[in-house]
Amino acid sequence: CHLIHYLRLSHHLIVLNYVIGTFDKLKSVSSERVTITDAVFDGVEVRVFEPPAKQDETLKRSVVYIHGGGWALASARTSLYNNLCRIMAESLNAVVVSVEYRLVPEVCFPEQFHDALRATKHFLHPDVLAEYSVDPSRVAISGDSAGGNLAAAVCQQLSKEEHMAVRPKLQALIYPVLQAFDFNTPSYQQNMNMPVLPRYVMINYWIDYFNGNYDLAHSLVINNHTALDVSQALSFRGRLNWTSLLPSSFKKNYKPVIQTTGKAEIVQKLPALLDVRAVPLLAENEILQRQPKTYVLTCENDVLRDDGVMYAKRLENAGVEVTLDHFDDCFHGCMIFTIWPTDFSAGVQTRNSYIKWLDENL
């Protein structure tokens, strides 16, 4: 059984590797419209996209972008993310910093978080912003999928640091993965076998991120790790109650899966399951109140849909200005698929909406 499960996962990752083009790393080839350079920010590799300076302009706005891929795949230098960040730099006339954080299996949590945080804090230093001619009051932090997870976690951490001279103006999260508390939200139930990101693959991304064992997967699927008798999970339950956080159009007729008795040892083996640096949706309200103006993009055909919707609702309840941009006919990961042979209308549609929001708010 475990061998079959492993082979299914391995096949899925091989296909994703091919589609995302993990091994298709592009050199920093600049053009007339965008200068692309590779740099190191506090020990973390980044790729910087800079549009040409305009005569009547002194400072530019900027986006720190953190790519997706389950904390294990892709790169700031692959053609798909290179293309996205170049188009963002051109469309927004903004400096885009794409973070090349280390991946599973080289490192596991919390190292991806630390890489993203270190690179972002380095860039937000006034001297570095000045070097790139960036307006300190017009910086956004953004990311998709696992990169959306890291972007949200970095924003939360920055909001706790009292001595930051520069803080992000916005955060923009694209179908972010934000919680490992409940793998039976309506979107997880509805899309459990959806291509690109089936539920079992997302759970195994979490296990790999936490350097855990695949033997735990079945218990996680049925929420044994957050059963009513798991004391470590009790204080978090109210922060992720989808029956109150989701609108009826998303709840549909799905029922909560809450075990009476479970396995507390799962949380002992994987304490990061309840670590807000890994699961930003579980943050306390005091932290959410400090978050910047937020954009959350979600797709109907995505197990992670409800993660984004619930985070948007919790932020809104905490007094943060939020735009929830939901696409009924789109799927997880679609936004990077805009170039042949994976050029989908869903990709162009979501990318244009995302860039439009940044342009109007940054």
Query: Which residues belong to the active site?
Result: 145, 302, 332
Task: Give residue for tokens 């991946």.
Answer: 103
Q: How buried is residue 353: exposed, middle or buried, by Cβ count under 10 Å (0-12/13-18/19+)?
A: middle
DSSP 237-295: GGGG-HHHHS-HHHHTT------SS--HHHHHH-GGGG-TTT-GGG--HHHHTTPPEEE
Q: Evaluate the omega torsion of the peptide bond into residue 280 and state whether it is cis, within 30 degrees of 0.
A: no
CB 320 within 8 A of CB 291: yes
CB 174 within 8 A of CB 143: yes
CB 63 within 8 A of CB 88: yes
Q: How buried is residue 317: exposed, middle or buried, by Cβ count under 10 Å (0-12/13-18/19+)?
A: middle
Sign, Cα dihedral of 44, 45, 47, 50: positive
Separation CA 315–CA 209 (nearest Å): 25
Separation CA 178–CA 176 (nearest Å): 6
Task: Give residue for tokens 């305009």.
Answer: 54
In angstroms, how far is CA 214 from the centroid of its own chain?
Answer: 23
User: 3-class SS at 69?
Assistant: coil
Starting from the edge strand earliest in sequence, which strands make up the sheet with 170-174, in order? 35-41, 44-50, 94-100, 60-66, 134-144, 170-174, 293-301, 322-331
